[in-house]
Amino acid sequence: MTWVEACHDKRLQNLPYKVELNRQGQIIMSPTRNKHGFFQSRIVHYLQTLLPHGAIIVECAVDTAEGTYVADVAWAALERWKILEEEYSCSIAPQICVQVWSPSHTAEEMAMKRRLYLEKGAAEFWYCDKKGAMTFFNCEGPLAQSALCPEFPHQIENYPL
């Protein structure tokens, strides 16, 4: 199955799962939890506040060498957004790709997604753990803070503001 076919498949609409495709075209479905969505919304809020001159994408599909994987939150500069906005899945990754912890994620899967998004042109990969702690990476490894958004907090509070 291709990503476009998955997007048009009525059986895959309105599922309570995050849907991705591996390189064999097999569907990967991961259940989400309320806490996952809460952290996504906080990340979006901070990005809107701190990087207002770009596009924020929630559940951003990115074509990679190993399938189509979905970043929980992504940020693209306006120039890149002009390339991506009409695509079903990103031919190049947005500059920032963020994954939020889910019970189904493994450390190996996060390392794989980090590698794949960076290979597809992301400048940074961010990871939000189950307690809201943020970790930032670029192609050289971990960063003390985001280079693209240095004011982004290292900890997202685990309760509504």
Q: Could you list the pLDDT tens digit for every one of the 161 residues in the chain?
A: 676 776 667 776 666 566 666 777 776 666 666 787 899 999 999 999 999 999 999 999 999 999 999 999 999 999 999 999 999 899 999 999 999 988 777 899 999 999 999 999 999 999 999 999 999 999 999 999 999 999 999 999 876 65
Half-sphere exposure of 123 (CA within 13 A, CB side): 11
Number of domain units in the chain: 1
Kindly state whether residue 126 falls inside one of the protein's structural domains: yes
Q: Find where tokens 């189904």 sit.
A: 104
Domain span holding position 125? 33-143
The CATH code of the domain that includes 71 is 3.90.1570.10
For residues 52 and 47, what is the distance between their CA atoms, to the nearest angstrom? 7
Kindly state whether residue 99 falls inside one of the protein's structural domains: yes
Cβ atoms of 97 and 149 closer than 8 Å: no
Kindly state whether residue 41 falls inside one of the protein's structural domains: yes
Kindly state whether residue 97 falls inside one of the protein's structural domains: yes
Kindly state whether residue 109 falls inside one of the protein's structural domains: yes
What is the model's pTM?
0.84
Could you give the 3-state DSSP secondary structure of residue 154?
coil
